[in-house]
Amino acid sequence: MKKNLAALIIIFIAGFALGWLMSWWLPSNVKILGRTGGVTGGQNIAGVELYNLRGQVSSVDGQNIKFEVKQLRDRAVVAVTKTAQVEPSTALYLITPKTSPEAGDEYIKQLTALKDKLKQAALAKNIKQATAIQEEIKALSLAHSAAISKQAGELNAKINALPADSAERREAERAYLELTSAFKYSIITLADIKTGDAIQAWSNDDLRTKDKFVATKVEIKR
């Protein structure tokens, strides 16, 4: 019985983690995603289409951001200087981890309380109570995911209805990005970017061989 209960808890935790990740899977027809082009992983590897680069800011000159990236060239990883050209339509963001309230403090509190109750039920070998608590956690997670999806859908509709590059649309795009990630997004200007900042820049062009490109979106971390 003890082994069965332990296995049940392990399976539940794995399933819950997967469900939590899936809760961030939102509508795929959001125009904000289309404007940034395709997205690759965190590595700047040549050989596949590459629409965003990660690196470190070396300087800001006029409307250009120069930054160093590591790329695979001629079968060797080398440091390459890239230049992201910033235009009026380029979205510039400073991203920082969300605080507990910004990440959904009430939901986290409720979830934590239920997980504590589940742990106690498991220690007491109360399978009936543990099963009931699992259902509560599932219902809470589904409700939270539905609320996030509803907000994302509303923002998506607003983005698609607003004129391209308008201030109102830019704010809706920022809100969408913030809602669907673990980060807080703040709109910044070139003057806010500092040497040494971590940067990720997107373009509609394949960046494998381009050392200078027009950026559609730039995210700065520090």
Q: What is the 3-state secondary structure (H, E, C) of the chain?
A: CHHHHHHHHHHHHHHHHHHHHHCCCCCCCCHHHHHCCCCCCCCCCCCCCCCEEEEEEEEEECCEEEEEEEEEECCEEEEEEEEEECCCCCEEEEEEECCCCCCCHHHHHHHHHHHHHHHHHHHCCCHHHHHHHHHHHHHHHHHHHHHHHHHHHHHHHHHHHCCCCCHHHHHHHHHHHHHCCCEEEEECCHHHCCCCCEEEEECCCCCCCCCEEECCEEEEEC
What are 220's two structure tokens?
């700065």
Which of 33-42, 77-86, 138-147, 205-214 is the least confident region?
33-42
Q: What is the pLDDT of residues 89-125, one digit of tens each?
A: 999 999 999 876 655 578 888 999 999 999 999 999 9
- Higher-pLDDT residue of 138 and 5 is 138
pLDDT at 96: 95
pLDDT at 101: 60
Which of 6-10, 125-129, 144-148, 180-184 is the least confident region?
6-10
Which of 164-168, 178-182, 196-200 has maximum average pLDDT? 196-200
% of residues, the chain, pLDDT over 90: 59
Provide the pLDDT confidence category of residue 196 given band limits of 50, 70 and 90: very high
